[in-house]
Structure 1
Amino acid sequence: MEDRRARFEELAPGLVDPLRRFLARRTDPATAEDVLADTLLVCWRRLDQVPAEPLPWAYAVARHCLANAERSARRQRRVAAKVATMDPPATATPGPSGDGAGGDGALDAALAALRPADAELLRLWAWERLEAAQIAQVLGVTPNAAAIRLHRARQRLAAELRKSAPVSGHEESREGRSR
């Protein structure tokens, strides 16, 4: 038991900050902290399964914990909606705004236009600075598949960014020309 505890105490400090940043980019601060706690609990429970390079594995665990939290939140919203139709509140209060990710509006719009799987892949690559082999571990695919998906996702993102970017270079003058 002491060996297990010592291993976890050695492992956890290196995971907390990267996982906190990973989750903060994907959800609101309160949910991020709850999911971080759930992720660390899973790491403790499955300590014998943690590989030598634990961060990509922990990212995968965090993704699953976040998906569970989002499903739970959706269920709670559905129940609240049912209750509100049966017994509507006296006044409505606005919910939290924003996605917690912040950043450039054009990039946010381009990422939002992509398929969720492509956007997540790009976030793992750009924000978490993972290589294709590490992304493969997080997503549960082969390194080759991750590299191909990353290449295609980057191409799709570039195309989305070109759609929203102003045209660069010189505009062609039509002065003095007849059509």
Structure 2
Amino acid sequence: MESIREQRLPEAARAVRFEALARVVAEPLYRYVVRRASAGTAEDVLAETMLVLWRRLDDVPQAEAGSVATPDDVLPWCYGVARGCLANARRAEGRRLRLVERLTRTVPLPALWPDDDHSELYAALRGLGSVDREVVLLWAWEGLTPREIAQVVGMTPNAVSIRLHRAKKKLAALLERKNGTAAAHKTGEGRGRSDR
């Protein structure tokens, strides 16, 4: 009888730890995923992410028994898990689309973002490489620091800082070509006294 109780206690403790983690990360993870996939896919990816978090609960930083998980402690690691689940979902969707396309030869690939209010920005983002785009989106949409982004994408913070700087520069250049004016600069801004 005692051994049965000992087996149930760790499982109950895991459930309590997971529920505390889920309260902290579920909403930010959903926002992260829904910005990168359709609502239906986002729900599936979020469910898969939460399943992975349950399975790997012992690997989650600062989620030990007795400690309260904070977003700063766990979100970068959880974003990394969600990124992997999203990549798996995209690969599965790509395989399904290739099969359907082979069968029908008429199915176009879905766009990454809708072409509505910010079509120029989305087009410029599409002009970046996938890793650079992800770094920029993690910085802009999720508000992560280069150190946190490094944890999500599996790079060093220095490599992320360099990629982020170059990607922002390229994004500004792409937007400048689209609009014909320097992005975020006023005409004549930055001239020295000798130019006046």
TM-score by length of 1: 0.82
Counterparts in 2 of 1:102 and 1:27: CA distance versus 1, 3 Å: farther
AA in 2 matched with 1:35: V
Distance 1:136 1:15 in 2: 18
Match of 1:175 in 2: none
Match of 1:129 in 2: 143
Q: Does 1:161 align with 2:175?
A: yes
Distance 1:135 1:28 in 2: 23
Q: Does 1:67 align with 2:87?
A: yes
1:56 aligned to 65, 68, 76, which one? 76
TM-score by length of 2: 0.75
Report the RMSD for the aligned CA atoms in angstroms: 2.4
Gaps of 5+ in 2: 1-10, 63-72, 189-196
Q: Does 1:140 align with 2:154?
A: yes
Match of 2:69 in 1: none
Counterparts in 2 of 1:96 and 1:142: CA distance versus 1, 3 Å: closer
AA in 1 matched with 2:34: A
State the Cα distance separating 1:142 from its structure 2 match. Answer: 1.1
Distance 1:95 1:150 in 2: 28
- Give the number of the structure with larger relative contact order, counting CA–CA contacts within 8 Å between residues 6 or more apart: 1
Give per-residue Cα distances to partners, 1:36-60, cap 9 Å, x unaligned. Answer: 0000000000000001211111111
Q: Does 1:42 align with 2:56?
A: no
Give per-residue Cα distances to partners, 1:15-56, cap 9 Å, x unaligned. Answer: 111111111111111001000000000000000000121111
Give per-residue Cα distances to partners, 1:112-150, cap 9 Å, x unaligned. Answer: 111121111100000000000000000111111111111
Counterparts in 2 of 1:98 and 1:119: CA distance versus 1, 3 Å: closer
1:65-144 → structure 2 map (5 Å cutoff)? 65-84=85-104, 99=113, 103-144=117-158
2:22 aligned to 12, 34, 38, which one? 12
